[in-house]
Amino acid sequence: MNSKKLSNIQYYTYEARKDVRWLHRTIELLNQQPEQRIYEDTGELFIKETIEVARKLLELIEQEQPKLKDIRDLYNLLKFYKSVRNYKWDHICKYVENWHWVANIWDNFEDRIELDLWNKVEYNLYSISQPLIAEGKYIRFATSVGSYGHVWLQIEPMIEYRTTQIIWRVHDDSIIPFYYIPAIFEAIIDGIIDYFHKTNISLTSMIISIDNGSYHDVDSREIDYRMAATIAWRKALASAKLVPLQAYEK
């Protein structure tokens, strides 16, 4: 077992999953209160499948040994929903993300994952034309608990491939502890998919490396690194020059 898996596996054992009151309550609220089914960014109602997805998660949680593929399929489905829903729906998404890492990623994780997001459908495939470097900081100090997340991204085109790799190059926990890896990776994946929803452009053929940052031993939390990675990703895209992959196929 990958030692990195141990920090979260305790929350996704069959015994730990038995308490599903939070999920029943979420489904109840989604059914009863229309305002709980509105996208915060657009004001649109959720489509009916959102409740069905929550019920599917409930089915998997209540199985003693759910299939790893079923967990992965649910994760993939949730990734393609429009990002930034509301707090309760976001909680479901994060639960599935973490469970997917425990079930399908950590055991074979060697500091990288490879994405093949656009494999089954024809999309407008683009990559970046030249390397990019971007810094993301999410830092807010408060009298009680503050927020501190800080990452550097390096993004390089990889035109000869039709996939994207995300690589962890920080090997000192005093810079960024390893347990923030999923939050940072998931923020980048969400950024790629969110960009597709907004532009109909599918970004691929890239190497995205997390190679530096910093950490605060009191104020750093998972959400802070998720926000920092999101900021870095958006900064990189703001200065990126995109090129259609069809240009390289002629």
The per-residue pLDDT for range 2-30, each reduced to its tens digit, is: 677 777 788 899 999 988 888 888 778 77
The reply to whether 120 and 98 lie within a common domain is no
Q: Which residues of 25-52 are buried (b: 16+ CB within 10 A; e: fewer)?
A: ebbeebeeeeebbbbeeeeeebeeebee
Structure tokens at 72: 């992965």
Within its chain, how far is the Cα of 53 from the centroid? Answer: 17
- Domain final residue, candidates 77, 93, 108: 108
What digits encode the pLDDT tens for the residues 82-109?
554 556 677 788 899 999 999 999 999 9
Q: Are 148 and 217 in contact (CB under 8 A)?
A: no
Same domain, 122 and 210: yes
Could you say which of 73, 108, 143 is where a domain stops? 108
> What local confidence, expressed as pLDDT, does residue 28 receive?
82
Q: Is the whole-model pTM more than 0.75?
A: yes
**Whether 60 and 157 share a structural domain:** no
Using CA atoms, how far apart are residues 191 and 44, in angstroms rounded to an integer?
Answer: 21
Q: Are residues 57 and 159 in the same domain?
A: no
Other Cβ atoms closer than 10 A to 173: 11
- Phi, psi angle pair for 168, to nearest 5°: -95, 115
36 and 96 share one domain: yes
**Residue-number span of the structural domain to which 121 is assigned:** 113-248
What tokens were used for 244?
């259609």
* Residue range 68-84: mean pLDDT, rounded: 82
Are residues 211 and 183 part of one domain?
yes
Instruction: State how far the alpha carbon of 231 is from the alpha carbons of 81, 136, 224, in Å.
Output: 20, 5, 11
103 and 7: one domain?
yes
User: Residue 35 has what pLDDT?
Assistant: 61
Cα distances (Å, whole numbers) of residue 130 to 67, 155, 168, 239: 41, 9, 20, 10
- Residues 165 and 234 occupy one common structural domain: yes
> Of 108, 137, 157, at which residue does a domain stop?
108
| Residue 150 shares a structural domain with residue 122 | yes
Q: Are residues 124 and 224 in the same domain?
A: yes
Six-digit token string for 38: 């509105």
Same-domain status, 15 and 90? yes
